Amino acid sequence: MSKIIKNLKQFSTSNDRFEGAHLLCPGCAHSIIVRELLNCTDDNLVVSSATGCLEVCTAVYPHTSWDASWIHIGFENAATAISGAEAMYKTLKRKGRLKDPDKPVKFVAFGGDGATYDIGFQFLSGAVERGHDFTYICLDNEVYANTGGQRSSSTPIGASTMTTPAGRVSYGNKKMKKDMIAIMAAHGAPYVAQVAPNKWKDMVKKYQKALAIEGPVYINAMSACTTEWKFPSHETIDISDLATDSLVFPLYEIIDGHELHITYRPRNVIPVRDYLGAQGRFKHLFKKENEHVIEEMQKTVDKKWEMLQRKEEAGV
């Protein structure tokens, strides 16, 4: 277990390990999510990044934003790379070949929802099943934002994307978002959680808990995308507030696959339509012929919230 955990005051005043001057879009939530992970501990970190917005915008040769050991790997196998690095570290430590064997080293992987929910799913599943000691963070912006805005299995129903455009014959994406939290919990991961950058204290506490736990950890990080969600770049946190307060992105954690805790309960739950109405990707849903999709989404969100509350009360 890591012994170098910062309290929130130390965290807020520490030097950045994720440097600015990267090329992420103005308003991109990725940088908030990544910065807080890197700054929440003084442990040595080994980080792998799947191909995606984060990778292409933070390591443009010969420059880098990463003040940590960092590996860029293919679109699909960030989990494979980091589990390999973790296995190598354990071997070197066992053989007495580390210069400072008592200094904690933590292994972290970042991937977008395309690299996580879809083309990297089997690699992540395998790494979790094998029990590698690493934290995997999905930067969930619900679309293949780096390659043109195609839908992924994280894309919510009704969203207009490049491959599911809304128009005269379609209201956009026809599929419900995949529940990766439940899937990773079912793998037996000792800790899974959902976070959002607007609730930064909740996010930092979950990061620190994840780094302290031995074994595979999965965190789904809601990452609002100003480009593909189509909202002004200065409204990232406002959109994130709408996401958590509408319960479209509920914040909770699951320990050992069954013990569920809700970590944020909005005082005033807002309608899902308020969240949808703030984004251009859903504007077509407010036409009379498409409003049934909004109603369907509201029912789905309500049903999941009720399920989460029942599981928390039951302790299963």
Spatial separation of the C-alpha atoms in residues 196 and 100, rounded to whole Å: 35
Range of the domain at 195: 8-314
Sorted by sequence, the CB contacts under 8 Å of residue 136 that are 6+ apart come out as 78, 79, 82, 108, 109, 111, 116, 124, 127, 128, 216, 217, 218, 219
256 located within any domain: yes
CB 301 within 8 A of CB 271: no
36 located within any domain: yes
Q: What is the pLDDT of residue 2?
A: 44
Q: What is the pLDDT of residue 1?
A: 40
Domain total of the chain: 1
Question: What are the structure tokens assigned to 172, written together?
Answer: 């956009």
The position carrying tokens 């990544």 is 34
2 located within any domain: no
CATH of the domain at 117: 3.40.50.970
Q: What is the pLDDT of residue 315?
A: 78
Tell me the one-letter amino acid at 303. Answer: K
284 located within any domain: yes
Q: What is the pLDDT of residue 172?
A: 98
Please return the burial class of 117, using the count of CB atoms within 10 Å of its CB with bins 0-12, 13-18 and 19+: buried
Q: Where are the alpha helices (DSSP H) in the chain?
A: 8-13, 30-39, 53-58, 78-94, 113, 121-130, 180-186, 200-212, 236-245, 272-277, 291-314
3 located within any domain: no
| One pLDDT digit (tens) per residue for the chain, 316 residues | 444 566 666 666 667 889 888 999 999 999 999 999 999 998 999 999 999 999 999 999 999 999 999 999 889 999 999 999 999 999 999 999 998 888 889 999 999 999 999 999 999 999 999 999 999 999 999 999 999 999 999 999 999 999 999 999 999 999 999 999 999 999 999 999 999 999 999 999 999 999 999 999 999 999 999 999 999 999 999 999 999 999 999 999 999 999 999 999 999 999 999 999 999 999 999 999 999 999 999 999 999 999 999 999 997 6
Question: What are the structure tokens assigned to 139, written together?
Answer: 């930067």
1 located within any domain: no
Question: What are the structure tokens assigned to 102, written together?
Answer: 């008592």
261 located within any domain: yes
196 located within any domain: yes
CB 29 within 8 A of CB 66: no
Spatial separation of the C-alpha atoms in residues 159 and 165, rounded to whole Å: 8
- Residue 51: closest CA among 162, 179, 151, 139: 139
Q: 287: how many CB neighbours lie within 10 A of its CB?
A: 11
Report the half-sphere exposure of 162 (CA within 13 A, side-chain side).
Answer: 11
